[in-house]
Structure 1
């Protein structure tokens, strides 16, 4: 499945566009683990040496890739591990690492997800309103079901049940994805009031929109909650809501070693 386009580096954070997918892998400079590049976060340096998140992986020059959680990155910043790893990756170039780099990365990933949802809404792929979501879910027309982080358990349970009916997986315990964004963030991203739940349409088996959205959800969720371990939007679609709402922790088989930094 194709993954979404991403964004271009600015002096602060990446601004979302629609990127092309790359199936290549990169190695995290901090953990040494390999993963598909669209599950990692690329760091690039501005002309004055400032280290910035390049969520789209499009900034020119050499880049370094990380795939750990925000909490682990904060520790790496504090103990100097990140600085040492970046010095190796960027061949001793003069670097300035912002103290708030972990927060900047989260902001960039959240903006990317919000922009992705906005793009899919304009393309007619987002279903809003609990009644309409339930109707479309029962009819089997939703490829993904998403809930705000501050949505109620009762509201999620009702829509999850309708979604299982439409997917013909009653009794499986599958649930929609609980997003790392609250209703306020979703409302701003979609330009609507009080967005608590949303569905991603999957007409006639076309799962491309859901794959694009779930890839952005997965990358942010893993960074915020537990590290960006190898996986893909396909993993999330195959394991929607099982065990841990929001993502699947199954490792991807057949990983090959790749350089942790490349000029691309």
Structure 2
């Protein structure tokens, strides 16, 4: 798809990094996270905090009225929260799909072995994972990627172990290792989209620079 323009900033970006808003049959404005709803859409590429400010000051209503060419719109007060929930659900759904396709491992011991063998393309930690457990697996990842002495590490997700367990269909999922490069790329995109909206980046520079090995790191 071609680039889309954010109705609030005027900036253009890949649709996969933006959020599409669509209008329902009764004029309600709702997030269209997968960009599949019919009809005209409007795109935003701002953080949740920026969206909340635009909503409170009426800037969002004006931008939407211009985009949809009508003032007859119902904008829910909890639109920012609905978008966050949708992005988080999209990430969890993607994790579930990759798990069912046998692209992901769980269990600290299995992940440790896979990391040390250089088989892990993306390492993920739950938001409530113990720091010691994270450090151990991060070190195993660096060993397997021949990156000892760097800050290469897994991503701490803005999702807790309960949500990860539900998504993966397994008990007590605290860490996830993605062992397929294409699956890792798909997950990086979903994670980056959520993190951008939340205004946080949990990946480290080393992760982005370690592209030769597709190591852990990091719709319109």
**TM beyond 0.5:** yes
Would the alpha carbon gap of residues 221 and 173 (structure 1) be closer, same or farther in structure 2, given more than 3 Å must change?
A: same
1:216 matched to 2:190? The reply is yes
Q: Deviations over 1:136-159 (max 9, x none)?
A: 011011110001111122111110
- Partner residue of 1:126 out of 104, 116, 121: 104
1:26 matched to 2:4? The reply is yes
- Partner residue of 2:45 out of 44, 57, 67: 67
Deviation at 1:58, TM superposition (A): 1.2
Higher helix share: 2
Distance between the aligned counterparts of 1:44 and 1:53, measured in 2? 6
Query: With structure 1 as the length reference, what TM-score do the two structures score?
Result: 0.76
Listed as ranges, the gaps of 5+ residues in structure 1 are 1-21, 228-234, 241-245, 249-263
- 1:4 is matched with none
Moved over 4 A (4+): none
Listed as ranges, the gaps of 5+ residues in structure 2 are 211-215
Matching of residues 236-255 of structure 1 within 5 Å: 238-239=208-209
Deviation at 1:226, TM superposition (A): 4.6
- 2:213 is matched with none
- Partner residue of 1:196 out of 161, 174, 178: 174
- 1:255 is matched with none
Would the alpha carbon gap of residues 43 and 151 (structure 1) be closer, same or farther in structure 2, given more than 3 Å must change?
A: same
Distance between the aligned counterparts of 2:209 and 2:47, measured in 1? 21
Would the alpha carbon gap of residues 36 and 143 (structure 1) be closer, same or farther in structure 2, given more than 3 Å must change?
A: same
- Partner residue of 1:50 out of 15, 28, 34: 28
Deviation at 1:210, TM superposition (A): 0.4
Partner of 1:156: helix, strand, or coil?
Answer: helix
Query: With structure 2 as the length reference, what TM-score do the two structures score?
Result: 0.90
Distance between the aligned counterparts of 2:142 and 2:207, measured in 1? 13
Partner of 2:165: helix, strand, or coil?
Answer: helix
Distance between the aligned counterparts of 2:72 and 2:153, measured in 1? 47
Distance between the aligned counterparts of 2:86 and 2:209, measured in 1? 26
Partner of 1:58: helix, strand, or coil?
Answer: coil
What is the Cα-based RMSD across aligned positions, in Å? 2.1
- Count of matched residue positions in the alignment of Structure 1 and Structure 2: 212
Equivalent residues of 1:144, 1:237 under 8 A apart: no
Matching of residues 10-25 of structure 1 within 5 Å: 22=1, 24-25=2-3
- 2:88 is matched with 110
